[in-house]
Every structure is written in structure tokens, then in C-alpha cells.
Homo-oligomer: A and B are copies of this chain.
């Protein structure tokens, strides 16, 4: 039960890598070399980051990507949700046809509260928090 999947992980690393270079353009090729991750996989991730407004892209020789927001306003939670969908920890508890007391079920309440905690914690950390190391 992993909290973030590999594509999210790569996305975050790529964003952090770009953040270190300030406003410079960074190509997928360069990120692949720096992070040692599979090229096509990273490319698809970069494209998704583009579609989701995290980066701007520039085609052609000398092209590449750059952040479209300040690193301090890019929340890890939002990156994760772009790749994994919303955090829904209760996903697999059965519906009320099987569990009639779903509404007041102590376990469901507990998992709901854990979910709130996860979301709030993941919302409390940004790409810029990852640059210190």
C-alpha cells in the first residue's frame, strides 16, 4: 500500500530538478540523464505535467520544460493527485448493500479521519521543501 506511485515519484523529482535551475529550460533528455530513469516513461510524465499546468513546454532544438509556478506553491498533494487521482482511502469498503451500518461504521469513520490527515499532510509540503538536501 504505497502512498505515492512511481510516476508521481519521478514527477516530483523532475519538478525539484527543474526548480534548482530556476527559470532555465530543461529538456527531458537532461532530466533522464540526471535522474537515471527510463526515457519514454519520463517523457510521458513530463507531458502529463504539461497538461496539468505544472510546467510549460517549448518544442524544437533548445526546447524543453520549465516550471509554470513558484516551487513554493506546488503542493506534493496536487502532483500526486494528478497522477493517482484523489486520495480515497475508503475505496474498498463495500457499499451499503453488504454493510448496512456503513454510515455509522466505526472503521469507516476511522479511515475517513486517516484520509483527512493524509491529505492535510501532503498539502503541507511543496516542491521547494525538497530542495534543502
Chain A residues with CB under 8 Å of chain B are 1-6, 9, 12-13, 35-37, 76, 84, 87-94, 97-101, 104-107, 110-111, 113-115, 117-118, 121-122, 124-125, 129-130, 132-133
Please state if B114 and A132 are interface contacts (CB–CB under 8 Å): no
* Complex Cα–Cα for A91 and B76 (A): 17
Choose among B9, B92, B101, B133 the residue that contacts A4 (Cβ–Cβ < 8 A): B92
* Complex Cα–Cα for A100 and B2 (A): 21
Smallest CB separation, A87 vs chain B (Å): 6
What are 13 A-to-B residue pairs whose CB atoms are below 8 Å?
A1-B84, A1-B89, A2-B90, A2-B92, A3-B89, A3-B114, A3-B115, A36-B97, A76-B107, A105-B130, A114-B118, A114-B121, A118-B118
